[in-house]
Amino acid sequence: MKRVILILIVMILTITPIGCSPIVEESAELLEGNNQVENENTEPRILRVDEQNLGYPSIYTVSPRGRGYLLMSLIFDTLTWKDENGVTAMLAKDWIVSDNNLEWTFNLVENANFTDGTKLTAVDVKFSFEYMMKHPHQWVNLNMVEKVEILDQHQVKIFLKEVYAPFITDVAGNVPIMPKHIWEKIDEPQKFNTDEAVIGSGPFTLAKYDIDAGSYIFEANEDYFLGKPVIDQLILSPNNQPALSLKNGELDAAQRLSYGEAMELKREGQFKVIEGPGLWVYRMYFNFDIPEFNQKELRQAIYYGINRNEIVEKALKKAGIPGNPGHIHPDSDWYSDVVKEYTYDPDKAKDLINQAGLSDKALEYELLVTDDRVDEAEMMKKYLGDIGISISVKAMDQKSVDSLISEGKFQLALNGHGSFGGDPVLLARFIGEGVNLGSTPTVTAQGGKKWSNEIFDDLFLKQLKETDYQKRYKIVAELQNIIAEELPTLTLYYRKITFAYNTEKLNGWYYTKDGVAIAVPTTQNKLIYINGTWGNQ
């Protein structure tokens, strides 16, 4: 009887024109094979969410973008984490910091296991930190760590070379803890993509990854130390029509909606729609190998020549807010509004170009942009043309744009990225050569000659060591003043993000303040799958 009922459930779920019917069918088989259907009257709790193909979800093989980190976090836990209120305990049940802020002692939970049944201990924590120091990771910077000592089976002490203000969030809350008995044999982690590579202590295990379809099936870790997840399976798969698929019952939640689609769903009232700051910034990059870009008057002229409000209104359809010249998002606790402003003023822009002695120079540049942002690029072409700067637009795929910017093979570029809330350590993207502190995702890096300012570098290093919030805030405000005056990048806008879901499935979604780990903006905080509720129960 149990098999007959399960087959009927699968048949109902798979009659869809657009969704992931093969994935749903296979997920039901996996559930049956693992005896997760507890009795004849219990249906499997399957949650289906749209997602892009982010690669194999192990630590070093998943996409370097923020969504890749989120995917990996379903499998691997960290010492601390964030919930809707801020920092919370994870594998470390509590911790103590020394008076000089250089020694952090973590007391680990005693009931955490890896999904191969091996107990998680201080040995694995020490190994994970040391492994990442030996094998650098794009989301983790451990330059401030001197050593890690095991005090006992469930207690570990981390010694820092110097005070690092965001340690508890950006290091303790960011380093995935790996099973030593597996990873100690791996010398090339970027090639490690076997079943062993996804053995972690997190709330889910990977049941299947379809590399061609870009889809994932995750199963609940029944022995998870925080309790079994409230869903049995999580299915993530690409979907080109998430709003329609949500309406048709092919998805239970949709995160890759356009802002307009989300607002329409909200008006219709069938699904719950939440909106939050995307912690995602769209900005203009300068290649400082081009001599005139080293003149701040030209950079300022370009900013005066761009109508940021019109971009948000027309290109984004109000799905964002105009950028702050000081770069930090206005919703951040570190935001300062006392910075130089640049209201749209083409005449002021032309005056600055004259002051820079560039009015007689042929200012002609290629503008690199992703092929889904051509509208913004064409607006830029018009704006800059009005102040005497000729632009040719070069549109490419996201991977190519990221690569060319990181290699310094561009003139002007428009690009966007997340990981923009959280600690002001993310301003590390503006520090000069040879200053190698902070945890900033390499996807935002810029190659070639960089903008450099010694005062900025000194202040940046100073604020990293300041643990008093008010004192640190004043330093960070000074950093924003420098950015607004010098404009090493032009912050154009911050995108809003939305999330729509069926309340008859999983409830309890929220936006994590400042994003998870080092500021990944999302509703996909894995704690929702632990603390949420299935339907209206």
Taking a C-beta distance cutoff of 8 angstroms, is the pair 140, 130 a contact? no
**DSSP code of residue 466:** -
251 Cβ contact partners less than 8 Å away, ≥ 6 residues apart: 19, 48, 49, 50, 239, 242, 245
Least confident of 96-105, 363-372, 513-522: 513-522
Decide if pLDDT at 40 tops 60: no
List pLDDT tens digits, range 431-475.
877 655 544 555 567 888 889 999 999 999 999 999 999 999 999
Residue 360 included in any domain = yes
- pTM given for the model: 0.81
Taking a C-beta distance cutoff of 8 angstroms, is the pair 284, 299 a contact? no
State whether 186 and 291 are in the same domain.
no
State whether 489 and 362 are in the same domain.
yes
State whether 175 and 293 are in the same domain.
no
List pLDDT tens digits, range 224-255.
999 999 999 999 999 999 999 999 999 999 99
List pLDDT tens digits, range 326-356.
999 888 889 999 999 999 999 999 999 999 9
State whether 338 and 190 are in the same domain.
no
- Amino acid 319: pLDDT: 87
Kindly indicate the confidence band of residue 523, based on its pLDDT and cuts at 50, 70 and 90.
Answer: confident
Expressed as residue numbers, the domain containing 345 is: 279-495
Which of 259-268, 294-303, 508-517 tops mean pLDDT? Answer: 294-303
Residue 41 included in any domain = no
List pLDDT tens digits, range 73-110.
999 999 999 998 889 999 999 999 999 999 999 999 99
- Amino acid 73: pLDDT: 96
Burial 468-507 (b: 16+ CB within 10 A, else e): eeeebbebbbbbbbbbbebbbbbbbbbbbbbbbbbeebbb
- Amino acid 480: pLDDT: 97
Tally the domains of the chain: 2
Residue type, 136: P
**DSSP code of residue 426:** G
For residues 400 and 191, give the distance between their C-alpha atoms in angstroms, rounded to a whole number: 22
**Domain end point (choices 199, 234, 265):** 199
State whether 137 and 283 are in the same domain.
no
Residue 443 included in any domain = yes
Residue 487 included in any domain = yes
Kindly indicate the confidence band of residue 428, based on its pLDDT and cuts at 50, 70 and 90.
Answer: confident
Residue 441 included in any domain = yes
Residue 122 included in any domain = yes
* Average pLDDT of the residues in 141-166: 95
Strands (E), 339-451: 364-370, 390-396, 412-417
Burial 73-90 (b: 16+ CB within 10 A, else e): bbbbbbbbbbbeeeeebb
State whether 449 and 361 are in the same domain.
yes
* Average pLDDT of the residues in 22-49: 59
Residue 393 included in any domain = yes
State whether 184 and 89 are in the same domain.
yes
**Domain end point (choices 180, 199, 218):** 199
Residue of higher predicted confidence among 432 and 14: 432
Taking a C-beta distance cutoff of 8 angstroms, is the pair 444, 403 a contact? no
Residue 387 CB-half CA count within 13 A: 26
Q: Side by side, which strands form the sheet with 155-160?
A: 92-97, 103-108, 155-160, 145-152
State whether 343 and 482 are in the same domain.
yes
> Residue 163 maps to which CATH number?
3.90.76.10
- Amino acid 139: pLDDT: 83
For residues 120 and 112, give the distance between their C-alpha atoms in angstroms, rounded to a whole number: 6
354 Cβ contact partners less than 8 Å away, ≥ 6 residues apart: none
> Residue 380 maps to which CATH number?
3.10.105.10
Decide if pLDDT at 395 tops 90: yes
* Average pLDDT of the residues in 272-282: 83
Decide if pLDDT at 57 tops 60: yes
Residue of higher predicted confidence among 192 and 417: 192
State whether 189 and 291 are in the same domain.
no
Q: From residue 171, how far is each of 133, 144, 517, 520 by CA, in Å? A: 12, 10, 8, 14
Residue 452 included in any domain = yes
**Domain end point (choices 199, 233, 249):** 199
- Amino acid 52: pLDDT: 93
Query: Backbone phi, then psi, for 272, in 5-degree steps?
Result: -80, 130
